[in-house]
């Protein structure tokens, strides 16, 4: 690779931002520009307050920004200068027309493809980073090849497997990097150019190469398998609550089978995040469109189980609190979809808060990083709702506390102090099974958790 490879990323979100920062950090002779149509977001990437919270990201950005990492709103100029263009714009679930509620909304993607074509004066490598329905790369290649100027483009699929909260770690030491391309000579050459970038810090045996559709389908399948494990253990959690088995003990016993493994077996109030639901629904839609309705129903059940788990949590709260929540103050500990992120997309907390407000509870939301997003998410929801930074203040005068995000700080709070400040009988619902339930029960709480028998005092 020559010393002036210009990499552009279109879309400075949770995926594009950290991925490009790590590439720039690890490849000082590659010039990386990240663009976005959202000027405010770009402003934040150029400031001391990055638009997303990720452990370790500030340091990576600080090292590379201004050296070979640039954030800009000039998409057209960026396209013109680029040799390799990553496309990392969002692909939300389509809300209208055919496939509404399931298919991916590809409007930003197609618009981006057309803009690349319009602004390019030489052929480029276009890398699909957004998770997309299988065969989208083909559609993009057709748009790009539809030019009469003789420009030659190669489209690669390079799905991102980073998880939020550990993005920098995942990018710096990935389990694998997956690169799909056309099997043609030109396709292989383009693939090689991208392998060369990753090979600066990723061992080559972790860089998997495949055809383009395998790469696209692998991403959807990986997310579907991960989500399926959570729905599987959550389905067992319901059974545990009826049978006096303990879901954490079951998960431990099951996970020690080396064929199964211990990860992603933590029962919870439900999985969230921008990817799992969207990607599974996408898989469902693709299966349906090929007439494979059994395949579609199979994967759809993973999403349904998750929705049921969220509503079951609120049902347990209402049933245990004497079947009425009206006027009761309920403190929600955590709103982010997981710990170590401010992201609230598809967070189970949103479903829980909405259901509690519909029960006319007074909901107090606290979270160390996600309060701004929570405020936005709940803006249109009617009801008695307040936001409180301090968990002690949130719990004061409450009838119940519900832990919805597994933030470390919630493990070490002074629960005796919290108990003393609450209305009695005091309830605690641990939607992440992170607290010491026996100790809470000894303090005097009625303790409800996921997949374990409740510890009650009344
Ligand atoms: C997104 C998708 O949700 C995911 O499926 C995919 O795998 C990667 O891209 P994420 O980075 O988390 O993930 O999304 P988001 O934080 O919303 O970032 C997308 C960015 O693209 C936004 O900042 C948006 O302003 C920008 N964008 C969108 C453009 O720059 N141009 C567009 O035309 C549309
Ligand atoms: C996921 C994939 O892990 C990642 O590879 C992909 O690129 C994007 O989607 P992310 O959504 O950021 O990443 O977070 P992840 O750690 O997978 O957690 C998703 C949800 O599952 C969270 O709400 C989390 O709390 C929940 N979860 C996870 C459980 O409820 N139990 C578990 O055992 C693991």
Read off the pLDDT of residues 132-158 as tens digits, 9 standing for 90 and up.
777 788 888 888 888 888 889 999 999
Active-site annotation holds for 275: yes
Strand ranges in 182-288 using DSSP code E only, listed in sequence order: 207-211
CA–CA separation, 102 vs 426, rounded Å?
41
Atom 5 of ligand 2, nearest CA residue:
161
Weakest mean pLDDT among 61-70, 141-150, 221-230, 352-361: 141-150
Please report the atom of ligand 2 found closest to the CA of residue 343: 12
pLDDT at 2 over 60: no
Which atom of ligand 2 lies nearest, measured to the CA of 263?
A: 33
pLDDT band at 284 (very low <50, low <70, confident <90, very high): very high
**The model's pTM:** 0.93
Q: What is the mean pLDDT of residues 415-435?
A: 98
Mean pLDDT throughout 319-335?
Answer: 98
Residue 112 and residue 118: Cα distance in Å, rounded? 10
What are the tens digits of pLDDT across the range 43-84?
999 999 999 989 999 999 999 999 999 999 999 999 999 999
Residue 3: the pLDDT is: 59
Mean pLDDT, the chain, rounded, equals 95
Report the pLDDT value the prediction gives residue 1, as an integer from 0 to 100.
Answer: 47
- Measured by CA distance, the residue closest to atom 6 of ligand 2 is 161
Write out residues with Cβ below 6 Å of ligand 2: 160-164, 223, 226, 230, 264-266, 268, 271-273, 275-276, 337-338
**What pLDDT, on a 0 to 100 scale, did the predictor assign at position 458?**
66
**Shortest-distance ligand to the CA of residue 234:** 2
Give the model confidence (pLDDT) of 243-271 as tens digits.
Answer: 989 999 999 999 999 999 999 999 999 99
**Two structure tokens written together for 236:** 């067992």
* Residue of the CA atom closest to atom 15 of ligand 1: 13
CA of 140 to the centre of ligand 1 (A): 17
Closest listed residue to residue 127, CA positions, set 28, 198, 51, 52:
198
274 CB-near residues (< 8 Å, 6+ apart):
14, 90, 343, 345, 346
pLDDT at 17 over 60: yes
At 206, list the tokens: 């972790």
- Looking from the CA of residue 161, the nearest atom of ligand 2 is 7
Give the mean model confidence (pLDDT) for residues 417-433: 98
For residue 264, give the ligand 2 atom closest to its CA: 33
Q: How far apart are the first and last CA of the chain?
A: 71
The Å distance, Cα 205 to ligand 1 centre, comes to 29
Confidence at residue 383, expressed as pLDDT on a 0 to 100 scale: 93
Residue 221 predicted with pLDDT over 60: yes
- Whether residue 30 has pLDDT greater than 60: yes
The three-state secondary structure class of 9 is strand
Share in percent of the chain as helix, strand, coil (round to 5): 45, 15, 40
Percent of the chain topping pLDDT 90: 88
pLDDT of residue 277: 96
Residues framing ligand 1 (Cβ under 6 A)? 10-16, 36-38, 41, 88-91, 108, 111-112, 129-131, 160, 274
Joined together, the tokens standing for residue 326 give 């009206």
Asked if residue 91 has pLDDT above 70, the reply is yes
């Amino acid at each position: 690779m020559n010393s002036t490879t210009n990499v552009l990323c279109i879309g400075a979100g949770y995926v594009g931002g950290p991925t490009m920062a790590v590439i720039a950090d690890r490849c000082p002779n590659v010039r990386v520009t990240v663009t976005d149509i959202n000027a405010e977001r770009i402003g934040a990437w150029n400031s001391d307050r990055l638009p997303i919270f990720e452990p370790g990201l500030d340091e990576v950005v600080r090292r590379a920004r201004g050296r070979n990492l640039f954030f800009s709103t000039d998409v057209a100029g960026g396209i013109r200068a680029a040799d390799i263009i990553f496309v990392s714009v969002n692909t939300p679930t389509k809300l209208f027309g055919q496939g509404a509620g399931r298919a991916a909304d590809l409007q930003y993607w197609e618009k981006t493809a057309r803009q690349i074509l319009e602004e390019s004066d030489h052929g480029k490598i276009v890398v699909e980073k957004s998770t997309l329905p299988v065969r989208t790369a083909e559609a993009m290649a057709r748009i790009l090849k539809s030019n009469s100027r003789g420009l030659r483009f190669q489209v690669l699929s390079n799905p991102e497997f980073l998880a939020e909260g550990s993005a920098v770690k995942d990018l710096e030491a990935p389990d694998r990097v997956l690169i799909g391309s056309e099997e043609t000579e030109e396709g292989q050459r383009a693939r090689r150019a991208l392998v060369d970038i990753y090979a600066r810090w990723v061992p080559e045996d972790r860089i998997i190469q495949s055809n383009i559709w395998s790469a696209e389908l692998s991403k959807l399948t990986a997310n579907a398998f991960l989500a399926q494990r959570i729905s599987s253990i959550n389905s067992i959690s319901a059974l545990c609550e009826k049978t006096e088995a303990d879901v954490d003990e079951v998960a431990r016993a099951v996970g020690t089978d080396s064929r199964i493994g211990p990860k992603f077996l933590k029962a919870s109030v439900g999985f969230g995040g921008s990817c799992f639901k969207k990607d599974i629904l996408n898989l469902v839609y693709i299966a349906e469109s090929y007439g494979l309705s059994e395949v579609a129903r199979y994967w759809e059940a993973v999403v349904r189980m998750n929705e049921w788990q969220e509503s079951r949590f609120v049902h347990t709260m209402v049933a245990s609190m004497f079947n009425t929540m009206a006027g009761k103050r309920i403190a929600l500990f955590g709103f982010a979809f997981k710990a170590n992120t401010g992201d609230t997309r598809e967070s189970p907390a949103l479903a829980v808060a909405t259901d509690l407000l519909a029960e006319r509870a007074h909901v107090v939301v606290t979270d160390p990083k996600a309060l701004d997003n929570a405020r936005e998410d709940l803006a249109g929801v009617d009801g008695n709702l307040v936001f409180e930074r301090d968990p002690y203040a949130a719990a004061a005068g409450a009838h119940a506390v519900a832990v919805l995000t597994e933030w470390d700080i919630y493990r070490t709070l002074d629960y005796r102090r919290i108990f003393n400040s609450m209305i009695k009988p005091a309830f605690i619902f641990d939607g992440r099974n992170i607290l010491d339930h026996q100790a809470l029960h000894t303090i005097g709480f009625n303790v409800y958790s996921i997949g374990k028998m409740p510890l009650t005092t009344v």
